[in-house]
Amino acid sequence: MTTSPDLLVVGSGFFGLTVAERAASAGRKVTVIDRRSHIGGNAYTENEPSTGIEVHKYGAHLFHTSNATVWEYVNRFTAFTSYVHRVYTTHKGVVFPLPINLGTINQFFQAAYTPDEARALVHELAGEFDPTRAQNLEERAIGLIGRPLYEAFIRDYTAKQWQTAPTELPASVISRLPVRYTYDNRYFNDTWEGLPVDGYTAWLERMADHPNIEVALDVDFFDEAQPLNKDATVGQLPIVYTGPVDRYFDYAAGELSWRTLDFEQEVLEIGDFQGTSVMNYADADVPYTRIHEFKHFHPERADRYPADRTVIVREYSRFAERADEPYYPVNTTADRTGLLAYRDLQQGEVGVHFGGRLGTYQYLDMHMAIGSALSMWNNTLA
């Protein structure tokens, strides 16, 4: 391992690799360390050995963006398939399309409303709260779709996913779910979407494949036995840190709460389990939030994937303990206060740049992590 690079990047997820790739292309020597035994952070995928089906190890990752700069940048490392993400949900034994759209509304109310009729109905049902003034997720959701649809599709799913009362969650979480008065059930609204043609790991490896980049795996920034540890490097060279911000400061301002996921993977001796890539389970009596069936992400690989076997993953959500992987910032009021304290502490860390989902305690999608890494490079580091 080079002990004196020009830049040390802690974490090889999309944020860290984007900064590393930009710096390397500008002629800087970069060392990237990651405590895991593979690069790529949570976007890492691997092929299930008995079927060859690409499995997203840390949960399904769908790439989508409307940011032209990001789209141009990512296309330097991979081509994308024409996959368009659609999600269905099972409620009381019946399957409905998501996001909530005219099809969902008509199926739920056993009706044939036109767009205007459905809009008028939802408007009437949603009168309880003004969504623009919503104080929390429950108020925003009821203000957008009304109580019956909220209770069927949102309330219990959200409670399972966040293990936090919807009245305690920020309204912004639900802004991610659009409501449509057409039968369009594309999950994302973005200009571009697709999956990397030869997989996420190939894409991530291409980003790291530069003579100026050295990657060291199984290396923890806080392990004093390794030479590029925190005490040995802070103040000595520029550092981009993409691990959890509370861990960096040894939890001096308290622990920020995170949600983690447990994945239960099964190889089934059938060709098709659910006919689609993601099925949500809206009801409280089903313990998991959703089931992923990975072969459906790549219909174009049908000739390479087995016709008589499939890989499914049930996803369970719970609060993260310190030893768990922190996946989603929960962002309660107490967390937001803690985060402000950590932002103050960051001012004293000369030459350390906090980035990415864990480093900024923000719900960043891949394109957002890449976009903010490009900005950090252009505006600060370069």
Applying CB under 6 A, the residues found at the interface with ligand FAD are 10-16, 33-36, 41-43, 58-63, 220-222, 242-243, 261, 327, 356-358, 364-367, 369
- The interface partner of residue 177, options being ligand UDP, ligand FAD, none and the CB cut-off 5 to 8 Å by kind, is ligand UDP
Q: What amino acid is encoded at 153 in this protein? A: F
DSSP for residue 155: I
In angstroms, what is the minimal distance from the CB of 61 to ligand UDP? 9
Q: Which residues lie closer than 8 Å to 221 by C-beta, 6 or more apart?
A: 10, 33, 35, 228, 229, 230, 241, 243
Residues in the chain: 382
DSSP for residue 336: H
Catalytic residue among 290, 335, 357, 361: 290
Residue 128: how many CB atoms within 10 A of its CB? 11
Distance CA 89, CA 71 (A): 30
Q: Which two tokens stand for residue 88?
A: 């269905």
Catalytic residue among 130, 133, 176, 266: 176
Query: Catalytic annotation on 48?
Result: no
Binding mask 259-298 for ligand UDP (x = CB under 6 A): ---------------------x-x----------------
Residue 382: burial class (beta carbons within 10 Å; 0-12, 13-18, 19+): exposed
Query: Catalytic annotation on 76?
Result: no
Binding mask 92-131 for ligand UDP (x = CB under 6 A): ------x---------------------------------
Residue whose CB is less far from ligand UDP, 179 or 253 = 179
Residue 275: how many CB atoms within 10 A of its CB? 10
User: Which residue in the set 123, 133, 176, 304 belongs to the binding site for ligand UDP (CB under 6 A)?
Assistant: 176
Per-position DSSP letters for 194-257, written without gaps between them: E-BTT-HHHHHHHHH--TTEEEE-S--TT-TTSTT-HHHHTTTS-EEE-S-HHHHTTTTT-PPP
In angstroms, what is the minimal distance from the CB of 167 to ligand UDP? 13
Query: Catalytic annotation on 363?
Result: yes
With binding defined as CB under 6 A, does residue 174 bind ligand UDP?
yes
Distance CA 199, CA 47 (A): 9
With binding defined as CB under 6 A, does residue 173 bind ligand UDP?
yes
In angstroms, what is the minimal distance from the CB of 163 to ligand FAD? 15
DSSP for residue 20: H
In angstroms, what is the minimal distance from the CB of 159 to ligand FAD? 18
Query: Catalytic annotation on 180?
Result: yes
- Helix (H) or strand (E) holding 175, with range, is none
- The interface partner of residue 358, options being ligand FAD, ligand UDP, none and the CB cut-off 5 to 8 Å by kind, is ligand FAD
- The interface partner of residue 35, options being ligand UDP, ligand FAD, none and the CB cut-off 5 to 8 Å by kind, is ligand FAD
- The interface partner of residue 221, options being ligand UDP, ligand FAD, none and the CB cut-off 5 to 8 Å by kind, is ligand FAD
Distance CA 137, CA 91 (A): 20
Residue whose CB is less far from ligand UDP, 222 or 327 = 327
Active site residues: 176, 180, 259, 290, 315, 363, 365
